[in-house]
Amino acid sequence: MHKLLTPQVARLGRPDVPPETDAVDPSFSEGTPESLKADLIDLLGETQVLSRVIDLVRFASDASPYRYIPQVVVRPKNIGDVQKIFHYCTTHKRHATFRGGGTSLCGQSQSDDILIDVRHDWNQWEVLDEGQRFKAHTGTLLGHANEALAAYQMRLGPDPASAHAATLGGVLSNNAGGMRCSLPRDSYHTVESITVVLPSGTVIDTAAPGAEEEFAKKEPALSKGLMDLRNEILADPEFVERIKRRYSHRNTNGYGIRSFLDGETPLGILRRIMIGSEGTLGFVGEVVYKAIPLPRLTTVAWLPFVTVGEAVAVVNGLVTLGAEAVEMMVASTLTIAAKSYSGTPSYWKTLDPQAAALLVEFGASDEKGLDKIEENVRRELSGAKMLEPLSFMRDEKCIELAWHVREGLLGLMGRSRPKGTAILTEDVCFPPARLKDAAEDLMDLLNKYKFDPAIVGHAAYGNLHFSLVVNLSVDEDKQRYASFMDEMTKMVVDKYDGSLKAEHGTGINMAPFVQREWGEKAYGVMRRIKKLFDPEKVLAPNVLLSDDPLIHLKKLKSTPEIENISEASHCIECGFCEPVCPSRNVTTTPRQRIALRREMARQEEWSPLLKTLLEQYEYLAIETCAADGTCADVCPIEINTGALMKHFRKMEHTPEIEKAALEIAKEWGEIERVARLAIGTADVVQQLTGTGLLTGVTDIARSVVSSDLIPSVPGPMPHAAPAELPSTVREGASAAYFPACVNRIFGRDVSSPKTPGLPEVLVTLSARAGKPLWIPDDVRGLCCSTPWSSKGYKQGGTYMAEQVVDAFWRWSDGGKLAVVVDAASCTLGMMEDVVEHLDDIRKQQLGKVRIFDSIQWCAGLLPDLAITHKIDSIIIHPTCSTTHLGLNDTLKRLAAEMAEHVEVPIGTTCCGTAGDRGLLHPELVHSATRDAVVQINLHPAQRYISANRTCEIGMHQATGKPYESFAFTLEELTRRPKAEQL
């Protein structure tokens, strides 16, 4: 059936850049080959097999410089599914590679055959022994694990910069380190047990009673082979000493053959050697970690020195004093940071190029402990020649800025790199005692090959990072990169006996150099390990070990220019955005949206594959983007992919669609009235028949008009808002009050009384605190314009923006009176979204109006309100708008005044409602809230609060819990007893 107002996706075309030679071949236009697709659907079920070309392309990229187009992507739900996939690969001579968070930097999570996504359905976890241990499926995010453990003042040992995006499976498979991860804290030393699926299909829980005997019985050849290798290694004392020496500092290059020294039984060896094996020996489905204490308080300091050598000279003393982290940055990195981050030390801008600084962090249980530590550090550094006096910082925001600078360096390089270039990040490790000379040699080598010598590193561990900016589409750049890698390898291995990989894993990138570092004997052991575990070569060919000495120079991805809206063209495809994206569990993520657009840029004009990608991109990328902007908050380059999707929505609109949207804006007052009446009718219908009839009616309307304009009814609808707004007067008012249109249309939760509505509650609260509000007579028909701007309707957005800004200027008497807004998304819209639609005069006028969100306003009322009693518990849903407005902590403080226990569930992100986006596409809400819902159901509360009506509706639909504005609870708890009122 023809849809009215259907977006014209063909209007997007392709970016205006030349095609690339690494464009996906047209043979992929139909996606997965039919026979392979049918086999895997029979094996796993249709929903677990991703086979469209858009799926293959979006999973072809990760944080590495490589791009492998998979034949198919599968999502096993359990151990049994993994066994089926292994059996299928063995019998059909196919191979498979695992992918978790896709944050790997060296090509560990890419496949040109079967790619196994183990992030999607592997996120169950459990805290054990009062936080002493943590048990989890390996799709669990490291950041979520640490959030859960923080309640027990514990955390996991590994802490890579990708902690909020990396899965535990990726962390242990790479033996990832981080800034505070000393060797005793890494996965190799803190993983207590694993449940592993071997390529043969055998499942072993290493902690199960009788597991050793079961392993020997089910896998006799592997069990014996491991012990034979151990005996051979132990029989060569010189080899044993070499292994010990190479693991005295960080080393993740090749298989962890120290397992044969530390493990005394076949299963003891297996448990250890799986750590750092990068998915090449089997699948770790579940892990139990031993947790480590989390300091209650921290103090940090920047220690600037004249040279790298002088900085390195004090590192050992700081480590001896118990430093949690000692991070080194050379002058050029600090100078770049000073230009990009406000609040950084002013002297960074004028540092000598030879200078370097250390960022140190110490932890303690109390302030006295920090005092003692700072005193010891001052004594330790009393003879050091520092560029600035030693100054410690304990303020949370100062500490946050310091680490934001350190962690944001990769993003700064990504933002400043030339068009078409990519960033390759390397990490090497040297014996800490030789770090000074090694750092200087490394910078000289980078200069020699015309790379930026901006090294940074975990100085406490002798671990240095550097980035190479190259154009992988240009042969000259590829050769420069290849020559650098060869010479760097010689320097690290021959001169310093260091590690070519410290914490990023081996991957495709370093596979050709494993033998160069380890030598023939150790490399032979590694080859035998692979053959013992995976004789049919099922898992991850060329990852970690490879027969191809040039594999690291193949399948390098181009980075064509795309529309540079919100700096999208600078995306480094790190994947940090994915865990916060509302659509991550149902369609695409910000990284994938950009990667797909890059593939369109690679394609020839109107190639068949381009046409197919565009058709599939409409729903999977554009329609289901919440455009909430939370991706920018976690992106190292602060890319707001939502802004790019809104730009695409504008590009899709014909003049006829723009005209229709403008007419809707002009008639918004009438539409608001009709919508309120419709919801009132719907309220009656659902009371009589449930939501089934409403859902059926709206589904028909969506099929006729547009699923992007007509909302669905996926769950209980709220009451309609009261038809009349509270009666107020301007005289004596402390502020004008603009009830947002969502609160003039949608009333309270269906489980609550119809009255009072939110406007009445806020008016009552303000009067009770002696700060009365005034609601102007002409608020109806006005809107913050976000519904138009978020959909890309330029004319309608401009009309409504001008109307509402003019009204704010009138109501505030030229900025003299503040204006209160009662929906966080509307507050944000008034501060940000409307600006793009305004002329200079209106921009100036808006800038003079003091706008308060209801959270800020009520926090200001609190000193003049008397809370009569506290309730037991509150669960908060912080919205994307409250996050952008910086109001989450204020909302938590308000909740803490009202309840004994306040919780933000682990996994909480934008709920996906995004204005009406979640009502148009309810699958978006269920995707966005999937992780949080588990926690909400496990820990129910007395009240569920937020600060945005449509978000509250979405959360009710997802959880079944009655979410409402915090103001209702605050008003209830500040009522005076009736006798007192008299």
Least confident of 16-30, 207-221, 618-632, 699-713: 699-713
Q: Is the pLDDT at 508 greater than 80, yes or no?
A: yes
pLDDT at 684: 57
pLDDT at 769: 97
pLDDT at 410: 77
Contact 338, 347 (CB under 8 A): no
Q: What is the mean pLDDT of the chain?
A: 92
pTM, rounded to two decimals: 0.94
What is the rounded average pLDDT of the residues 482-492?
Answer: 96
Q: What pLDDT digit, counting tens, does each position of 864-908 carry?
A: 999 999 999 999 999 999 999 999 999 999 999 999 999 999 999
Q: Is the pLDDT at 1 greater than 50, yes or no?
A: no
Domains present along the chain, CATH in parentheses = 21-294+505-549 (3.30.465.10), 297-407 (3.30.70.2190), 665-859 (no CATH), 866-979 (3.40.50)
Instruction: Give the chain's end-to-end CA distance (angstroms, integer).
Output: 64
What is the rounded average pLDDT of the residues 938-963?
Answer: 94
Alpha carbons 689 and 698: distance in angstroms, whole number: 15
pLDDT interval class at 3 (50, 70, 90): very low
Q: What pLDDT digit, counting tens, does each position of 387-412 carry?
A: 999 999 999 999 999 998 888 877 77
What is the rounded average pLDDT of the residues 259-277?
Answer: 98
Pairing status of strand 392-393 against strand 297-305 = antiparallel
Q: What pLDDT digit, counting tens, does each position of 542-571 carry?
A: 999 999 999 999 999 999 999 989 999 999
Q: What phi and psi, each to the nearest 5 degrees, are found at residue 784?
A: -75, -5
Alpha carbons 15 and 290: distance in angstroms, whole number: 50
What is the rounded average pLDDT of the residues 834-842?
Answer: 94
pLDDT interval class at 2 (50, 70, 90): very low
Closest CA to 748 of 952, 971, 972: 952
Alpha carbons 34 and 41: distance in angstroms, whole number: 10
Strands (E), 269-400: 283-290, 292-293, 297-305, 325-330, 356-364, 392-393
pLDDT at 679: 76
Alpha carbons 514 and 516: distance in angstroms, whole number: 5
What is the rounded average pLDDT of the residues 49-58?
Answer: 98
Q: Is the pLDDT at 693 greater than 80, yes or no?
A: no
pLDDT at 977: 66
Percent of the chain with pLDDT over 70: 95
Q: Is the pLDDT at 702 greater than 50, yes or no?
A: no
What is the rounded average pLDDT of the residues 364-376?
Answer: 96
Alpha carbons 855 and 828: distance in angstroms, whole number: 12
pLDDT at 694: 42
What is the rounded average pLDDT of the residues 574-590?
Answer: 96
What is the rounded average pLDDT of the residues 100-110?
Answer: 95
Structure tokens at 423: 């960033």
pLDDT at 718: 86
Q: Is the pLDDT at 712 greater than 70, yes or no?
A: no
Q: Is the pLDDT at 179 greater than 80, yes or no?
A: yes
What is the rounded average pLDDT of the residues 277-303?
Answer: 97
Least confident of 263-267, 321-325, 369-373, 716-720: 716-720
